[in-house]
A = this chain, B = another copy of it.
């Protein structure tokens, strides 16, 4: 590939900073629309991409904010949910049930976060990277609620389509609970609802009962 082909049309506009860097970041972010997740959309017709998933969970956070266990800053929660999956542009989606993928996920995603947020002007890059790290570490009330939302939405989609990734990855009820029970850290009310969906899925045969149960 020649250097010429590497220049995006936006770079030829020679915009002043900080807009030039911000537009470059926002156009790079567009690639998240091409990252495909395991989950299906609610009508079951196709798999969800990560950009539309990010929109959906941001909407979840707006609508469900009052169920948070602790006092939260909704703008910080929504911001985390809008940016936390951008690393998948470099790393792809790693399903919760993919043990081999999740083992190396943290290091790969940290490098992707540095590259992607590094496209922004320095101060904004630092802020976005810190917000991303806060989400990953789940060390704040905002991050715990954001993570709860991110874990809740795929349960509702699997329930809506009658199995989804539970069937694809041969997941049983015990494993599903182990992977999602920290929803309770962000919101006991949402965890109770998630458990109702999980129990219903087991009773309908969409999710296997725990081995030995």
Chain A residues near B (Cβ < 8 Å): 8-10, 12-13, 15, 18-19, 22-23, 25-27, 29-34, 41-43, 45, 48-49, 51-52, 54-56, 58-60, 62-64, 66-67, 74-75, 78-79, 82-83, 120, 124, 156-157, 159-160, 162, 189-190, 193, 196-197, 200
Contact = CB atoms under 8 A, between A and B. Distances in A.
Given A10-B156, A26-B56, A26-B59, 17 more contacts: A9-B162, A9-B200, A12-B200, A19-B189, A19-B190, A22-B64, A23-B193, A26-B64, A27-B42, A27-B160, A33-B41, A34-B43, A51-B56, A55-B55, A55-B82, A62-B79, A74-B75
A83 B67 contact: no
Chain B CB within 10 Å — which of A26, A75, A79, A159 has the most? A26
A120 B19 CA distance: 38
Contact of A41 (B15, B34, B59, B66): B34
Copies in the complex: 2
Nearest to A67: B19
Contacts of A59: 26, 29, 82-83
A9 B159 contact: yes
A78 B22 CA distance: 17
Given A63-B26, A75-B74, A75-B78, A160 B55 contact: no
27 contacts: A9-B162, A10-B156, A10-B159, A12-B200, A13-B200, A19-B189, A22-B63, A25-B63, A26-B60, A27-B156, A30-B56, A34-B43, A49-B52, A51-B51, A52-B55, A54-B55, A55-B58, A55-B82, A58-B78, A58-B82, A59-B82, A62-B79, A63-B120, A74-B75, A75-B75, A78-B79, A78-B82
